[in-house]
Amino acid sequence: MKISVIGSGYVGITTAIMFCELGYKVTGVDTDERKLALLRSGQLPIYEPGLEKRLPLHLAKGNLAFTDDTKDAVEEADVIYIAVGTPANPDGSCDLTYVREAAQAIGRYQNGYKIVVNKSTVPIGTGEKVKRWILENQKHPYPVDIVSNPEFLREGTALRDALSPDRIVIGAERPAAAEMIKSLFADIDCPKIVTNLRTAEMIKYSANAFLATKISFINEIGRLCDVYGANVDDVALGIGLDRRIGSEFLRAGIGWGGSCFPKDLAALIAMSERAGVETRILKAVREVNTEQVAYYLARLEERLGGLRGKRVSLLGVSFKPDTDDIREAPAITVIKRLLACGASVRIYDPVAAKHVKLEFPAARVCKTAEEALAESDCAFLMTEWKEFLSIDWKKAYAAMRTPLVIDGRNFLDRKFLEGIGYRYYGIGRGNGVTHG
Ligand code: UGA
């Protein structure tokens, strides 16, 4: 069984390496020569712990190759995964240009029966379009099956998530094609859900929308905890232990970002609007998340008595730890607003700062957290990188101009910091009773 994966981004590379781990021979396809050169030399174009050791290993074993030749990759494969990017259009809908181009190329170069699997997150009904684009470009009427096998991996734990998933979802028009794809995962012990194409596509969007809902829900409860003097971390624990609720994705903070939740929620809302279906919950989930940054900035402003002329140090800029991805990271909005308000901004992030440097030349990128905090009016934690726990907070206290910590991820030890003398704010962490 030979597998080709079109698109060597986050999902494509992880999918390719996952199949190598499962014992298959895989060809990864991409058009970006720079990316291909890096991959062929065993280096990742992304920061993703866990993949960096497996990539050179599978290249050396001959399990994995990378090419820009889609023709070869299509001809030699039995199964072709489409894992190209699906950027957002200005109205939030999903731009299928790269998916269409991949499908057209598959049709053009098809040399026999193929199973084409959609791994990219695509609007409901795209599987059928992919089939049409393939058939329209075929030189001979070869049979083709389209399967949807959505991705549930998280950045930072991509390979682990791919190899030990909670479930595998396979959607297909023909049960035989679904069974064939299911058999690729025979060595992975987890529930495998076989359904139709449209349902598999809907499962992907619903999963991300529901996870974003949990976070916006606990963030809203966090705001209530702030005024009623309750502790949101304990609320999350207290409700999360109810198995019907579940304890994950209930960490209150400055909100969700990344390349998936914002884009997928926008696409689902755009799909619902196109169909004339009102989706109040989805819109509220997004609104709460957008407001969350302003909510934190208001807490910062209250404590500093204004932002103009203040020096704010951001600890972390990536949308979450263990990634250098800053797409839709709350930190980006925070930097923009702080600069617009006349504050000066310092940034420290173990891996992502380089991306911010280009976008915000006015912000000063520091090499260490200590450098960022010296002479600063606030340590504003945006990303829960583990190393922030081992900052010498006593030393930083002496070096800061104003010893204020705004903890955007409820990550630091409040009692410890207050013991040193810091003023501390973390959402819903017993910030006093103003009501009730
Ligand atoms: C998300 C999903 O978790 C994956 O299952 C999915 O495959 C992926 O999108 C995708 O569609 O490709 P990812 O974007 O890598 O994965 O990141 P998450 O770990 O889900 O975190 C998303 C955001 O939510 C981050 O900004 C994180 O800080 C925030 N978050 C997460 C919270 O604010 N609180 C939480 O309790 C959990």
Q: How far is CA 33 from CA 3, 37, 45, 58, 67, in A?
A: 21, 6, 12, 20, 9
**Predicted local distance difference test score (pLDDT) of residue 253:** 98
- How far from each other are the two terminal CA atoms of the chain, in whole angstroms? 65
Neighbouring CB atoms inside 10 A of 342's CB total: 11
Instruction: Note whether 169 and 193 are within 8 A (CB).
Output: yes
**Predicted local distance difference test score (pLDDT) of residue 76:** 97
> How many angstroms separate the CA atoms of 7 and 121, rounded?
13
> How many angstroms separate the CA atoms of 38 and 45, rounded?
7
* Residues known to be catalytic: 260
> How many angstroms separate the CA atoms of 285 and 271, rounded?
16
Q: Which residues approach ligand 1 with their CB closer than 6 A?
A: 121, 151-155, 208, 211, 215, 249-251, 253, 256-258, 260-261, 319-320
| Atom in ligand 1 nearest the alpha carbon of residue 215 | 34
> How many angstroms separate the CA atoms of 378 and 384, rounded?
16
Q: CA 297 from chain center: how many Å?
A: 24
The whole-number mean pLDDT for each consecutive block of 10 residues of the chain, a chain of 436 residues, reads 95 97 98 96 92 96 97 98 94 93 98 97 96 97 98 92 97 97 98 98 98 98 96 98 98 97 95 96 98 98 97 97 94 97 97 89 96 98 98 98 98 97 96 78
**Residue 78 backbone phi and psi in degrees, to 5:** -90, -35
Task: Dig out the tokens for 379 from the structure.
Answer: 């340590």
**Nearest CA, atom 28, ligand 1:** 320
pTM: 0.95
Determine the distance separating the centroid of ligand 1 and the alpha carbon of 41, expressed in angstroms: 30
| Closest among 414, 419, 379 to 399, alpha carbons compared | 379
Instruction: Note whether 178 and 172 are within 8 A (CB).
Output: yes
Beta strands in 287-416 (DSSP E): 311-315, 344-348, 364-365, 378-381, 404-407
